[in-house]
């Protein structure tokens, strides 16, 4: 009601306006006009049109043909004008959109008194989605590596024209080898699109896919078609070695690793270009490798139904450094640049360092070293070659300064007449000597055949050694010789004196003769002594004596003297001493003796004295000190024996061997005490008694002991009646045990 009231008011107002004023106030116009748009086939399209102050009728035209003024357009079932009159909305709705709806549209408003109101003409384009793409050949394509193939992808009936792309299996767009074309259909709106992909497959395309992708605005997502490739390809060969690092002195194996389709493969091996017989498998034994095998070509040839592939690779053998050429020394004048070379072959490539040995200084690296010749730079050079995994190699060479020769020789050489003489002359010369000359007393030596002179030369790195040999020297050969050496820079001369050596010395001959005579005499003496031994032993038995000594820890003792006549004669001499029958009285040593041996010799003994071998079966006497001890000594014949009462010590040191006859220390008695009275001196009557007994032969001795008896009496009957010097008597009449004389030895 409110709206009708307002409209009535407006009409009343307009009715009061003059005609021109009313016309200006009620002029109709478009509030909304249609615009160009697209529509997908089968969809709904709306072309907007809104009019204000409308006084006429509204209609739509299609390509200039009017569709009608009523909202439900008769004859066009899919067309209608939507909206309301009150709002002036007369939008054209098309549903569903067909391809024929692709046209130009206009909204028009009529007026009874004025010209009609027309909107702008708009174009509605109908999009048609294409059909899914089709790839030929496909979807499985069998191809051969190296042989080009062409894949065709077609997408039809699309509007606008479809766009086609080829993608590999990684999703990347393929641009190379792609060719596009299209074909417009008879309706002039839709098109067919085609894209051809030409490619040469390889083994890498085997079991891969290729995708044809179609794009169109009518599609929300592209349409795709895939092709699966099955590619036959010849063998792909990879040549490997085992072990990974081939080394000199080891056995190696080559392996031919093949990838092929079809997989049936035949093998063929070639070494240094020559086919290896009897090997048709994927492995080839190389045998024991050497440095000569390094770099030699090895080929593996594999064949299948598609083709043949050969792979060639050099054998890489590692080997220790060796000198290609031995290091050689160089010589030069001072100030000249000299190149020392260290040519080495090794695998891997070595590192070479140079050292001046004389100064132990690093001087360079590489296989060549250039130095300026001088006195300081001369000497020995070392090139140290190091290769990973191998023992270093070292070479030495010399840089010598050129100059005049120098000679080393022995100044004096001795030789015997009639024998060989050799004179040597060592010359150091850089460059080598031009000539070596030998002279004798200024005269050149004749070395022609037939001469007893001969000259030989031994070449050395820095000179030579010249040797003059004289066969069967004669008197005139003992002279002064000169060795002269000449090179490009000068000369040097050395004098050698050949001296005559005497024959075998006369004193040597005499000494040898004397030695022979002495040996013969000693042998004869031993033979004679051996023959006299039985007779000597029988006489000694007649005079054997036995002595027993009993040593007590305290003082006191008895001395009993007897030999069958003097039995019962006792004395309180040295305690514990008993003189047994058949034993001659031996006085104690005299410490005041001069130590001179007696010259007394018995005629029957032929100048020999019997010797008691104290070292034979000797056991030392145990001296108990303050404790009690007991020992017995038995002496008889030419030998003395001691038998200890208790176990003796095992041995005595050889350097401290006390004589077995040394008496025990005296404490309360004296060996010289009177056997009857016990006094410290022998009485006159006792001495006469002893003398009478001796004269009556109560003590039996051999003739050889007569002098010994006389001396003993003299010692016993000294005028001053002093104590007997036992040490002196010991030294006079007893041969020390240190003297290793055998019985019958000349004293």
Full-prediction pTM beyond 0.85?
A: no
Total of domains in the chain: 5
Contacts of 535 (CB under 8 A, 6+ apart): none
Residue 526 lies in a domain: no
pLDDT category at 505 given cuts 50, 70, 90 is: low
At 643 the pLDDT is 37
Q: How do residues 531-552 score in pLDDT, each as one tens digit?
A: 765 544 444 444 443 333 333 3
Same domain for 112 and 137? no
Contacts of 181 (CB under 8 A, 6+ apart): 193, 194, 195
CA dihedral of 46, 47, 53, 54, whole degrees rounded to 10: -90
Q: Contact at 8 Å (CB) between 333 and 402?
A: yes
- Greater model confidence, 219 or 724: 219
Helix (H) or strand (E) holding 151: strand 149-158
Contacts of 522 (CB under 8 A, 6+ apart): none
Can you tell me the distance from the alpha carbon of 192 to that of 120, in angstroms, rounded to the nearest whole number? 33
Same domain for 385 and 426? no
pLDDT beyond 90 at 567: no
Q: Which pairing describes strands 490-501 and 412-416: parallel, antiparallel, or unpaired?
A: parallel
Q: Measuring CA to CA, how many Å separate 370 from each of 335, 342, 351, 418?
A: 12, 12, 17, 56
Q: How do residues 111-133 score in pLDDT, each as one tens digit?
A: 877 788 899 999 999 999 999 99
- Greater model confidence, 240 or 510: 240
Q: Which domain holds residue 723?
A: 543-651+661-747
Phi and psi at 464, nearest 5°, equal -160, 170
At 527 the pLDDT is 87
Same domain for 392 and 440? no
Q: How do residues 625-653 score in pLDDT, each as one tens digit?
A: 433 333 333 333 433 333 333 333 333 33
> Residue 437 is part of a domain; what is its CATH number?
2.60.40.10
Residue 529 lies in a domain: no
Contacts of 464 (CB under 8 A, 6+ apart): 426, 427, 429, 432, 433, 436, 457, 458
Q: Which residue bears the tokens 């022998």?
A: 682
- Strand, helix or coil for residue 19: helix
Same domain for 469 and 416? yes
The mean per-residue pLDDT over the stretch 69-78 comes to 87
pLDDT category at 724 given cuts 50, 70, 90 is: very low
Q: How do residues 156-209 score in pLDDT, each as one tens digit?
A: 999 999 999 999 999 999 999 999 999 999 988 899 999 999 999 998 999 999
pLDDT beyond 50 at 656: no
At 687 the pLDDT is 42
Residue 522 lies in a domain: no
pLDDT beyond 50 at 677: no
Same domain for 550 and 626? yes
Same domain for 414 and 495? yes
Q: Contact at 8 Å (CB) between 84 and 71?
A: no
- Greater model confidence, 739 or 387: 387
Q: How do residues 240-269 score in pLDDT, each as one tens digit?
A: 999 989 999 999 999 999 999 999 999 999
Same domain for 390 and 477? no
Can you tell me the distance from the alpha carbon of 745 to that of 529, in angstroms, rounded to the nearest whole number? 8
pLDDT category at 744 given cuts 50, 70, 90 is: very low
Residue 533 lies in a domain: no
Angle, nearest 10°, between helix axes 726-733 and 706-716? 170
pLDDT category at 54 given cuts 50, 70, 90 is: confident
The mean per-residue pLDDT over the stretch 369-383 comes to 94
Q: How do residues 441-489 score in pLDDT, each as one tens digit?
A: 889 998 888 888 999 999 987 889 999 999 989 988 999 999 999 999 9
Q: Contact at 8 Å (CB) between 340 and 381?
A: yes
pLDDT category at 511 given cuts 50, 70, 90 is: confident
Q: Measuring CA to CA, how many Å separate 629 from each of 149, 517, 554, 635, 664?
A: 133, 54, 10, 20, 11
Can you tell me the distance from the alpha carbon of 207 to that of 230, in angstroms, rounded to the nearest whole number? 5
pLDDT beyond 70 at 18: no
Of 98, 127, 156, the residue that ends a domain is 127
pLDDT category at 72 given cuts 50, 70, 90 is: confident
At 708 the pLDDT is 43
Residue 656 lies in a domain: no
At 273 the pLDDT is 92
% of the chain surpassing 90 pLDDT = 52
- The tokens for 257 are 């690793």
- Greater model confidence, 81 or 13: 81
Q: Contact at 8 Å (CB) between 20 and 113?
A: no
Same domain for 343 and 408? no
pLDDT category at 317 given cuts 50, 70, 90 is: very high
At 515 the pLDDT is 85
- The tokens for 77 are 């079932």
Residue 521 lies in a domain: no
- Greater model confidence, 621 or 245: 245
Q: Mean pLDDT, the chain, as a whole number?
A: 75
Of 289, 315, 341, the residue that ends a domain is 315
* Of the candidates 369, 692, 690, the residue with the CA atom closest to the CA atom of residue 559: 690
Same domain for 638 and 666? yes
pLDDT beyond 60 at 23: no
pLDDT beyond 80 at 504: no
DSSP 13: H
Same domain for 623 and 696? yes
- The tokens for 725 are 């010097």
Number of C-beta neighbours around residue 526 at 10 A: 12
At 14 the pLDDT is 39
Q: Contact at 8 Å (CB) between 204 and 168?
A: no
Can you tell me the distance from the alpha carbon of 84 to that of 337, in angstroms, rounded to the nearest whole number? 116
The mean per-residue pLDDT over the stretch 6-10 comes to 40
Residue 395 lies in a domain: yes
Can you tell me the distance from the alpha carbon of 709 to that of 600, in angstroms, rounded to the nearest whole number? 11
Phi and psi at 454, nearest 5°, equal -145, 130
The mean per-residue pLDDT over the stretch 7-25 comes to 41
pLDDT beyond 80 at 211: yes
Q: Contact at 8 Å (CB) between 28 and 117?
A: yes
CA dihedral of 26, 28, 29, 33, whole degrees rounded to 10: 140
At 116 the pLDDT is 85
At 506 the pLDDT is 55
Residue 17 lies in a domain: no
Same domain for 154 and 121? no
- Greater model confidence, 562 or 369: 369
Identify which of 137-146, 441-450, 602-611 has the greatest average pLDDT.
137-146
At 648 the pLDDT is 38
Same domain for 339 and 291? no
How many residues are recorded in the chain?
747
Can you tell me the distance from the alpha carbon of 181 to that of 179, in angstroms, rounded to the nearest whole number? 7
Of 249, 283, 315, the residue that ends a domain is 315
CA 568-569-573 angle, to 5 degrees, is 130
């Amino acid at each position: 009601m409110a709206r009708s009231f307002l409209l009535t008011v407006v009409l009343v107002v307009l009715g009061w306006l003059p005609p021109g004023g009313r016309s200006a106030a009620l002029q109709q116009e478009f509030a909304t006009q249609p615009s160009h748009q697209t529509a997908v086939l089968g969809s709904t399209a709306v072309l907007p049109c809104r009019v204000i102050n409308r006084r006429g009728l509204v209609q739509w035209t299609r390509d200039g043909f009017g569709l009608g003024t009523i909202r439900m357009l008769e004859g066009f079932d899919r067309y209608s004008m939507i909206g309301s009159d009150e709002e002036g909305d007369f939008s054209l709705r098309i549903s569903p959109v067909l391809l024929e709806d692709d046209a130009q549209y206009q909204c028009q408003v009529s007026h009874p008194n004025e010209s009609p109101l027309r909107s702008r003409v708009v174009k509605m384009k109908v999009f048609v989605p294409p059909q899914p793409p089709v790839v030929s050949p496909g979807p499985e394509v069998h191809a051969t590596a190296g042989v080009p193939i062409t894949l065709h992808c077609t997408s039809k009936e699309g509007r606008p024209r479809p766009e086609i792309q080829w993608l590999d299996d990684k999703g990347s767009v393929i641009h190379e080898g792609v060719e596009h074309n299209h074909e417009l259909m008879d309706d002039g709106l839709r098109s067919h699109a085609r894209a051809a992909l030409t490619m040469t497959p390889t083994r890498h395309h085997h079991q891969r896919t290729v995708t044809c992708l179609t794009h169109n605005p009518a599609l929300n997502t592209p349409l795709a078609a895939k092709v699966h490739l099955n590619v036959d390809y010849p063998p792909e060969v990879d040549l490997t070695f085992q072990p990974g690092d081939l080394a000199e002195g080891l056995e190696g194996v080559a392996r031919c690793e093949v990838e092929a389709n079809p997989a049936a493969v035949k093998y063929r091996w070639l070494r240094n270009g020559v086919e290896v017989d009897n090997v048709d498998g994927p492995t080839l034994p190389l045998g024991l490798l050497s440095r000569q095998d390094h770099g030699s070509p090895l080929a593996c040839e594999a064949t299948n139904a598609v083709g043949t592939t050969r792979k060639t690779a050099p054998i890489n053998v590692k080997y220790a450094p060796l000198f290609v050429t031995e290091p050689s020394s160089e010589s030069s004048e001072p100030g000249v640049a000299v190149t020392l070379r260290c040519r080495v072959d090794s695998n891997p490539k070595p590192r070479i360092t140079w050292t001046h040995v004389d100064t132990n200084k690093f001087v360079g690296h590489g296989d060549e070293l250039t130095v300026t010749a001088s006195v300081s730079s001369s000497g020995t050079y070392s090139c140290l070659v190091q290769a990973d995994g191998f023992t270093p190699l070292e070479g030495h060479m010399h840089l010598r300064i050129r100059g005049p020769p120098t000679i080393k020789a022995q100044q004096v050489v001795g030789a015997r007449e009639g024998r060989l003489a050799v004179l040597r002359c060592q010359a150091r010369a850089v460059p080598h000597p031009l000539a070596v000359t030998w002279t004798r007393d200024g005269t050149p030596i004749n070395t022609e055949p037939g001469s007893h002179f001969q000259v030989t030369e031994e070449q050395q790195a820095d000179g030579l050694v010249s040797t003059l040999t004289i066969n069967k020297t004669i008197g005139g050969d003992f002279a002064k010789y000169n060795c002269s050496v000449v090179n490009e820079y000068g000369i040097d001369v050395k004098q050698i004196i050949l001296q005559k050596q005497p024959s075998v010395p006369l004193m040597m001959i005499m000494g040898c003769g004397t030695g022979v005579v002495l040996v013969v005499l000693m042998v004869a003496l031993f033979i004679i002594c051996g023959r006299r031994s039985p007779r000597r032993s029988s006489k000694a038995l007649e005079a054997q004596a036995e002595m027993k000594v009993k040593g007590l820890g305290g003082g006191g003792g008895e001395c009993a003297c007897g030999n069958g006549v003097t039995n019962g004669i006792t004395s309180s001499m040295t305690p514990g001493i008993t003189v047994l029958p058949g034993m001659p009285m031996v006085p104690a040593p005299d410490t005041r003796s001069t130590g001179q041996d007696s010259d007394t010799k018995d005629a029957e003994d032929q100048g020999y004295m019997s010797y008691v071998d104290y070292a034979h079966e000797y056991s030392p006497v145990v001296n108990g000190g303050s404790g009690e001890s007991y020992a017995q000594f038995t002496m008889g014949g030419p030998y003395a024996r001691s038998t200890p009462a208790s176990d003796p010590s095992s041995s005595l040191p050889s350097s401290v061997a006390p004589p077995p006859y040394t008496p025990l220390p005296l404490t309360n008695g004296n060996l010289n005490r009177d056997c009857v009275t016990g006094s410290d001196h022998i009485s006159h009557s006792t001495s006469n008694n002893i003398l009478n007994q001796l004269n009556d032969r109560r003590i039996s001795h051999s003739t050889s002991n007569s002098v010994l008896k006389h001396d003993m009496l003299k010692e016993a009957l000294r005028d001053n009646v002093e104590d007997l010097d036992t040490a002196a008597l010991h030294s006079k009449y007893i041969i020390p045990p240190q003297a290793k004389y055998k019985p019958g030895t000349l004293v």
